[in-house]
Chain A
Amino acid sequence: MKMELIQPFINAADAVLSQGLQSPMEIGNLTMEEEAYRRKGVAAMVRLTGDIEGRIIFDLDPKTAARVASHFAGTELPESDGLVREAVCELANQVIGNAVAVLNDQGFKFRVHPPELHTSESGAKSTEDTEALVLSFDTTSGNVFMNIALQYHNAAAAASR
């Protein structure tokens, strides 16, 4: 997975989280996930199809999710509130939508599918083609994890890069 694919997601996460939480964030650990994906808490998954295909998962532990959702909602939300899960989905939608806008303007064509709550405890193991990159964003509300597994759908898209 090339950095040119990843950078727009980092920039978008920075912009959306910083604006929503009204405080700066830092990029923490960046790791390649070789084992099967294990959900940390409240997770939303967005699938992409087109020149680039794959999925991105936004994952927050329950307490962090409640704090982040409360910031975005402008009111205190308990961990159990359904709006917390909705907020994580919308957060994923905004970050990925903003990143995709940049990639699309660079010539990649793809479709963003509506976010889905990711409820499985674990996901498929990475392969050589769909290696997953896990980014941790350190915010004042806690760590926000973004798990990116993307690949070029066709040789032409890859070769043109």
Chain B
Amino acid sequence: MEQFAAVKRSKDGQPVQYLIVDDSVFARKNLGRIIESFGGQIAGEAGDGVTAISEYDRLKPDIVLMDITMPQMEGIEAAEKIVQKNPEARVVMVSSVGYQENIVAALQRGARHFVQKPVKPEVLYEVIKYVLGEDGVVASAAGAGA
């Protein structure tokens, strides 16, 4: 897999912590491999929206990657509940069901961005940098400033 310049947290230079939410173990593993290629760390995983909410409260990750179609509670509802309680939460929807209505609903209910499956690593990388904004820094720049 292609390696990307590591994206770190600007406040402490530590790897960005991710919570991966998807009912598919396979999808979670694939997303995990991709974010590791960005220099990120998997803080935790969840297979449904209900678990995602409790895992967010427990782990306070920098970014949540959230699927939409899941059992128990779907991703858009889980994203809304997380953001209502934690307005600073950065939730990126990662789903194959990327029609306009879903994308708009996700953004209106608190998600910061939407990435269509199958995930192209280079697309997710750019989205992560965008969503982190000034709270993220590409490693080479961090190294130069250290």
Residues of B within 8 A of A97 (CB): 69, 95-98, 117
Question: Are A105 and B100 in touch, CB under 8 angstroms?
Answer: yes
A16-B118, A19-B118, A94-B118 known; A112-B97 Cβ under 8 A: yes
Q: Are A96 and B96 in contact (CB under 8 A)?
A: yes
* Residue in B24, B25, B116 whose beta carbon sits within 8 Å of that of A93 in the complex: B24
Closest chain A residue, CB of each to CB of B24: A90
Q: Are the C-beta atoms of B69 and A114 separated by less than 8 Å?
A: yes
Q: Which of B16-35 contact A (CB under 8 A)?
A: 23-27, 29-30, 33
Given the complex of chains A and B, what is the CA–CA distance between A74 and B30 in angstroms? Answer: 9
Assess the B117–A94 pair: CB atoms within 8 A.
Answer: yes
List residues of chain A with CB within 8 A of the CB of B27.
Answer: 90, 93
Which A residues touch B95, using CB under 8 A?
97
Measured in the bound complex, the distance between the Cα atoms of B34 and A26 in whole Å is: 28
Q: Which of B36-76 contact A (CB under 8 A)?
A: 69-71
User: What is the number of residues of chain B that contact chain A, defined by CB distance less than 8 Å?
Assistant: 24
**Closest CB of chain B to A142's CB: distance in Å?**
18
For the complex formed, measure the closest distance between the CB of A24 and the CB atoms of chain B, giving whole angstroms. 16
The answer to whether A101 and B96 touch (CB under 8 A), given A19-B118, A112-B69, is: yes
B84-117: CB near A (< 8 Å → 1, else 0) gives: 0000000000011111111000000000000011
Q: Bound complex: CA of A98 vs CA of B97, how far in Å? A: 6
Q: How close is B123's CB to chain A, nearest CB, in angstroms?
A: 12
Please, which residues of chain B bring their CB within 8 A of the CB of A87?
Answer: 26
The 8 A-B residue pairs with the shortest CB-CB distance, nearest first, are: A97-B96, A86-B26, A104-B99, A101-B99, A97-B97, A94-B96, A90-B24, A90-B26
Q: Which residues of A contact B (CB under 8 A)?
A: 16, 19-20, 69, 72-74, 82-83, 86-87, 89-90, 93-98, 100-102, 104-105, 112-115
